[in-house]
Structure 1
Amino acid sequence: MLKDKLLQDLEECFETLGQVRNLAQNYDEKLFDYLLEESKYKEEFKSRFFLFGKKTLVFKLNDFLNFLDLRSLGGSFTSYANKIGLANKTKSLLKTNNEVVLNFAFKDGVIKGGQSKDEQKTQEIFFNEILARDEIDVLFDKKALQNFELIGENKNLQEYLKDNPNLLIKGNNLLALHSLKKLYANKVKLIYIDPPYNTGNDSFNYNDKFNHSTWLTFMKNRLEIAREFLRDDGVIFVQCDDNEQAYLKVLMDEIFGRENFVNSIAVKLKNIAGASGGGEDKRFKKNIEYILIYTKSYEKLDQFKSVYDSRELYSHISFCKENNISWKYTSALLNGGEKKLIATTLDGDGNEIKIFERINYDIKSIGQMIKDFKMNEKEIFYHYTNKIFRTTMPQSSIRVRVLEKLKELNLSPYLISIEYTPKSGRNKGVIYEQFYNGEKLNLFAWLKDVVEIKDKQIFKKELAGTLWDFAFAMTNLTKEGDVQFSNAKKPEALLQRIIEISTNENDIVMDFFAGSGTTLAVAHKMKRKWIGIEQMDYIESITKERLKKVIEGEQGGVSKAVNWQGGGSFVYAELMPLNAVYKEKIQNLNDEKELDNIYQELKTKAFLDYRVDINEILKDKEFENLDLENKKEILKLVLDSNMDYVLYGDIEDENYVLSKETIKLNKTFYGDENA
């Protein structure tokens, strides 16, 4: 390969690469003369390691030193140590350091990830950031789109594209993200992704030779571009299991900054009886996954909205009784009686607090109500939810001021109420009433404030922390979205929580591992705008069809909880494939006899790597002796990976035969003024 020839050329002239390094660091004239004038590879050295101005010449020392340090791993070049670990910026592995990055093989490279079916395994080429800068630039150029379809509206598609519609795109997500970057940079409020976990059982089957490093590179490439889509107050939620969680955390620290880490959520998705692991595996059974949350700027991030876990109320009461846990909601204010103004005082801002004595009120215990009303306890709690209370001793300046005023006036009513207008909190700006009783003024805390009624059942709400229980929601997944999807479909309730706490209506939500479309479906039902990307072939039969049903008013998942009645629209489009078509054909070959046909097609129609002579490969005896699978892998490598998809800049090239309508839609989509 050319890289090896360049290194060999330097060694032949200067004996060792170490000597070359020393000369470079000292800006030695002899080395420069050789690189610029004497070497037979001088043009290559010039283009790689020098910048030419009108009157200046700049030597790119760091690139040259990195080039000397590059190591070859299976045909992909990398300058990072072939180990996983924490390292400082000199690439020395360290156990502790304040400034750390995650080193792994191929960290300085780009992997596309080119599967279109779960069962495929691919040997991906890594494009190194120094050796293949041109290839990477082309790889990340905007791609042409085809098969545009407007779903849910009967409008002119070209006009509709101008209004930033909801988008579902089929194609390689890394390339699609780079294609969308200029349109949506700094505009997305929430990114949620549930990528392949690299367990050996999921869809991550890229390049098994360096599977762990491959996964990290795969994620690094996508997280780096994903960050550019986020608003300054935007957040990204990345779901994973414990197989890669620790490394992913450090990688995200590097990309987003440790100061922008928000939380790590543990999500219970299985009860132990249904969990994997354990037994002969020697490990505890797995029943949780993790969600890592980062923001683009912690300073600008709004506080998440509160979320609650819920449990059927009477089950909760029974649990408390069985475990000798005090259940304190044991009384009801059946009638507040009459109120008599007995005093006023001021809050800390000088605003009035009115104090009323309550007369002829009616308070009963739950036990007394069971006897008087001939109901059981469960019925009492259901019918009198709004009346039942407990008393508590709040650390409140309001209570202290009221208590001081009553002592000042030598008043001691048993039951009082106060009215004031809070300046903050959930009752901000409205007249708010509170009840107190007893000499110490115990505050009434109402049961209605900690429960919710759904389907004629009462559920106790508890503020959720960083452990979320969605095991029950996982048991009903087959009914959600009216689609069958075996690859770890997530419950709509989980996405509802994430979207609810982090976004508002009309914010943009993105998922570039769209899968069955759960994120997009829930975002649509919750009146958010959305962008979804999926490269697997099931996007047409599963993802798109699910979203069509959402528009039609599908009532599964969270539809009833958010009062979803249908409506809305989205645009479907596909990255326009070129060599990707031939890679798919090669992958699907089942017989040696089919090879002859594909050879001719590749030679006449496909875009081949300019560094490879396919005719020489086909005549090679060693190639002839390979089995079918190895021949298929070599043929895929012969194809120019930069030509997997048609570039937007080439849409009017006659070789690609795009219709006038497709060209026009591409120009409108990308905001080309000449559309």
Structure 2
Amino acid sequence: MPKQNFNEKLIARLKTNPDFVDESGELLPAAVKDHAWKLNHDLIKFLLSDPEIKSTFFDEIDGHWVFNHNTFIDYINEKNFLANSYTQFRNKIGLNIDGKFLPERGEVSLVWPYKDCVLEGGQTKEAEKRKEIFFNEILAQDEINQMFDPKVLTNWKRHTTEGEQDVTDIQRDDNGTIRENLIIKGNNLIALHTLKQQFRGQVKLIYIDPPYNTKSAANTFAYNNTFNHSAWLTFMKNRLEVAKSVLAEDGILVVAIDHHELFYLGALLDEIFSMENRMGIISVVNNPAGRQDAKFFPTAHENMLFYAKNIEITELGRLSLTDEKRRDFKYEDIYGKYKLNGFMRRGDNVRKEDRPNLHYPIFYNEITKQTYLERQSDDDIKIFPIDDQGIEKCWRWGRDTFALRKAKYIEVKKIKTRYVIYSKLYEDEYEGEKAKTVWNKPYYSGQTATQGIKTLFGSRVFSYPKSPYVIRDVLEITTKPGDIILDFFAGSATTAAVAHKMNRQWITVEQMNYIETITVERLKKVVGKKVKEEGRLLEDIDYDTGGISKSVNWQGGGDFIYCELMQYNQAYMDKIQVAQSSEELVALWRDIAENSFLNWYVNAEVPEEAVNDFTALGDLEAQKHLLAELLDKNQLYVNLSEIEDADFAVSEEDKVLNSEFYEIR
């Protein structure tokens, strides 16, 4: 049978699986390859069901058929596998090299989201799902020249309680470390490389909530033919490797993830940070009722992976008192509020024979309320550590410690006919409790986070935000005031908002356009603004009082700097993303060919036959994707080394601020 007929049969059969086609019924090669890499049973059974397909992609060994997944994937990758207008256009314009699509040769993953639908206000139920679709391109190492060089930063603005102001200087401490809260707009991989020179080894905590790469409602990474499992891992690997370089030696990385990529991400983190530096995995119950649309187990939690850069010198703090725990400190004396703990030991090794030196009598005088180690009068009551079953046990302290601490820390109560000895724990001496592996407080729920966003903005402008209380507790056990926090998936700015209220320095990055309407606006509300009365500024500040504000006594204040990676080809990416028609894209293509940096292997002309193939695609998303591939990704943003190039028209103000940021003398 001719190869083309075999192609047609294979494609037609693959299209019968709904997992392998998009909404228009077109085959998704990435989804097919993803199933092949995972040795998916359904795919293998399907391939075995046809004799010709079986003989092509399986080897017979001693009567057993073994799936040759490398042969199958190479076949899917072959440029003539989908011999349609899409392939024809790529061939004519130069996007196929050595018989393979560019993504198959690549090692660096860049992502451009081009659509982000925001929920309308006034809804009574979740009528829409947030949808983000991504242009993903994986680049080979030989195509990366200047991509990771520092970039020119532009559009500088400082936000304070007195409103937006010009940036005139950049604050540093005595060690030369930048001491500014920063929000940067741009591709986060490139932004991380821009930041690494100034913040290498300075960041105490990196907290990220990356796209999950699932098909679920909570997905923030659409599963389509431009992003698959292996590309997602590449995407994460690139960012985590450079992020590690900015972590302090005693710094900690925390990654939030659901179960779909948990094991693969864990293996990746073990590779980058080493298994020995894995501190633990926390389950955060963010939906106590569970997602009822799950096929098997309704998902009620997500995970946080904790990794140290150097676990030998890393310390983890404790959680401070919650309002619920604070109510336990219901007694008070001259030393302050306290709670009572039984003075008799509980748990293992608590019997007299286990610790005989901790088994001794304590004498109590009911009139004077004093305790002694020796009898002082006939009225003294002798008390031994004996439980309700008559088992002889031990006290918590030895005799010497008891003698030193009893005046302040020991209290005796009569319970029915027995006298019970308690030790006092004062609220101001409470060291906190160790964070457990399950976090299930009600305020950790996604509903709490969503309600907070609705209160701030008047509507649900962002789907699936993190609870600020989760971030608060992460920061509490990993950082101290003044430490630097980095989140390069800013989203609705929960991490930055919480860090600001807890007096931590923060850096956050976002490439989506909602950075100006949601991310920045939320942080402006956190800082607050001075109240005006009859045109006169008062000392009062109107600030965000929601979320953790009450628990940390937030009163508003502080400031932050906003800036952007200066665009070049990225400006064309933005235009591609908002285009509404094929005609608009063709016009943009001609503009790109004349005025932008194209990939070296792309035909700089715009041949009419290629235009015809481009138009014949009929799929606006596919056309946008193809047009984006023409652009040289080394020139997405203006390199710092080209700041004096007149073609880029960098302003004098930007030159001064970049010199100060990068310490150029």
TM-score by shorter chain over 0.5 = yes
Letter in 2 for 1:467: V
Aligned pair in 2 of structure 1 residues 422, 602: CA closer, same or farther (>3 Å)? farther
Q: Using the TM superposition, give the Cα deviation of residue 605 of structure 1 relative to its aligned residue in structure 2, in angstroms.
A: 1.6
2:197 counterpart of 1:182: yes
Number of the residue aligned with 2:93: none
* Match of residue 577, structure 1, among 542, 567, 590: 567
Secondary structure of the corresponding residue to residue 290 of structure 1: strand
Aligned in 2, Cα 1:402/1:563: closer, same or farther, shift over 3 Å? farther
Partner of 1:114: 112
The whole-number CA distance in structure 1 between the counterparts of 2:398 and 2:556 is: 39
User: Residues 635 and 285 of structure 1: is their aligned pair in 2 closer, same or farther, counting only changes over 3 Å?
Assistant: same
**2:227 is the counterpart of 1:237:** no
1:146 aligns with 154
Question: Matched residues in 1 for 2:400 and 2:229: separation?
Answer: 53
Structure 1 distance, partners of 2:265, 2:342, is 46
Question: Please, which moves more after superposition, 432-441 or 538-547?
Answer: 432-441
Distance 1:231 1:408 in 2: 55
Conserved? CA contact 2:643–2:650, under 8 Å: yes
Partners of 1:601 and 1:546 lie apart in 2 by 37
One-letter amino acid of the structure 2 residue matched with residue 157 of structure 1: V
Where does residue 167 of structure 2 map in the other structure? 157
| Correspondence 1:638 to 2:630 | yes
In 1, Cα distance between equivalents of 2:400 and 2:644? 62
- How far off its partner does 1:462 sit? 7.4
Give the letter for the 1:468 counterpart. W
The answer (yes or no) to whether the contact 2:277–2:311 under 8 Å persists in 1 is yes
Q: Secondary structure at the match of 2:422?
A: strand
CA contact (8 A) 1:242 1:289 kept: yes
Aligned-partner residue type, residue 500 of structure 1: E
The equivalent residue for 1:211 is 228
| 2:115–2:577 CA contact under 8 A, matched in 1 | no
The AA in structure 1 aligned to 2:205 is L
CA contact (8 A) 1:190 1:510 kept: yes
In the alignment, is residue 564 of structure 1 matched against residue 537 of structure 2? no
Deviation at residue 598 of structure 1 after TM alignment: 1.4
* Deviation (angstroms), 1:600: 3.0
Q: 1:430 to 1:568 in 2, by over 3 A?
A: farther
Distance 1:71-1:210 versus aligned 2 partners, 3 A rule:
farther
Q: Is the 8 A contact 2:160 2:527 kept in 1?
A: yes
Cα 1:335–1:627 change in 2 (3 A) is closer
The residue aligned with 1:221 is 238
Change in 2 beyond 3 A, CA 1:385/1:158: closer
What do residues 502-547 of structure 1 show as CA deviations (whole Å, max 9, x unaligned)? 1111000111101111110111111111101111111111111111
Q: Out of 300, 303, 316, which is 1:303 matched to?
A: 316
Matches within 5 A, 1:183-582: 183-200=198-215, 201=217, 202-205=219-222, 208=225, 211-272=228-289, 275-278=290-293, 281-306=294-319, 311=324, 392-393=344-345, 413-414=380-381, 432-435=408-411, 443-446=421-424, 464-474=435-445, 475-480=447-452, 482-483=456-457, 484-552=460-528, 553-582=543-572
Match in the other structure for 1:83: none
Q: Which amino acid aligns with 2:551?
A: A
Q: Report what 1:627 is aligned to.
A: 618
Gaps of 5+ in 1: 1-69, 77-104, 317-328, 337-383, 453-460
| TM-score with structure 1 setting the length | 0.65
Equivalent residue for 1:357?
Answer: none
Corresponding residue SS for 2:206: strand
Verify the 8 A CA contact 1:479 1:556 in the aligned structure 2: no
Greater RCO, CA 8 A, separation 6+ = 2
Q: Give the SS at the match of 1:540.
A: helix
What is the identity, as a one-letter code, of the residue corresponding to 2:381? Answer: Y
Q: Distance in 2 between matches of 1:423 and 1:169?
A: 59
The question of whether the paired residues in 2 share the 8 Å contact of 1:578 and 1:646 is answered with yes
CA gap of 1:209–1:505, structure 2 versus 1, over 3 A, is: closer
Residues 121-175 of structure 1: CA distance to partner in whole angstroms, max 9, x if unpaired? 344331233xx2xx33411111111100011177872323555311000111110
Secondary structure, aligned partner of 2:111: coil
What is the one-letter code of the residue matched to 2:475? I
Partner of 2:186: 171
Distance 2:424 2:111 in 1: 55
- Matches of 2:315 and 2:325 in 1, distance apart? 31
CA distance in 2 between counterparts of 1:188 and 1:270 reads 31
Is the 1:393–1:443 Cα contact (8 Å) retained in structure 2? no
| Structure 2 Cα separation of the partners of residues 307 and 106 of structure 1 | 50
1:434 CA drift (Å): 2.4
Q: Tell me if structure 2 keeps the 8 A contact 1:161–1:668.
A: no
| Shift in Å, 1:615 | 2.2
Partner of 2:91: none
Cα distance in 1 for partners of 2:144, 2:376 equals: 82
Question: For residues 75 and 230 of structure 1, what CA distance do their matches in structure 2 show?
Answer: 41
Letter in structure 2 aligned against 1:240? I
Query: Which region of structure 1 is more displaced relative to structure 2, 398-407 or 226-235?
Result: 398-407
Could you give the per-residue CA deviations for residues 454-475 of structure 1, whole angstroms, max 9, x where no partner exists?
xxxxxxx976411001444433
1:230 is aligned with what amino acid? L
How far has the Cα of 1:253 moved from its partner?
0.6
Give the distance between the partners of 2:362 and 2:625, measured in 1 at CA.
Answer: 82
By how many angstroms is 1:559 displaced?
Answer: 0.6
Distance 2:476 2:636 in 1: 38
Residues in 1 aligned to 2:467 and 2:399: alpha-carbon distance in whole angstroms: 38
User: RMSD of the alignment, in Å?
Assistant: 4.2
Q: Distance in 1 between matches of 2:253 and 2:105?
A: 21
Deviations 1:110-130 (A, max 9, x none): 10212254345344331233x
Supply the distance in 2 between the matched residues of 1:219 and 1:579 (Cα, whole angstroms): 23
Q: Which amino acid aligns with 1:284?
A: F
**Quick check: 1:307–1:463 contact (8 Å CA) kept in 2?**
no
Residue 128 of structure 1 pairs with residue 140 of structure 2: yes
Structure 2 residue matching 1:582: 3-state secondary structure: helix
Q: 1:635 Cα shift?
A: 1.6
Equivalent of 1:658 in 650, 656, 662: 650
SS in 1 for 2:628: helix
Q: CA deviation at 1:400?
A: 5.5
Equivalent residue letter for 1:497:
D
The alignment partner of 2:409 has SS state of strand
Q: Partner amino acid for 1:626?
A: L
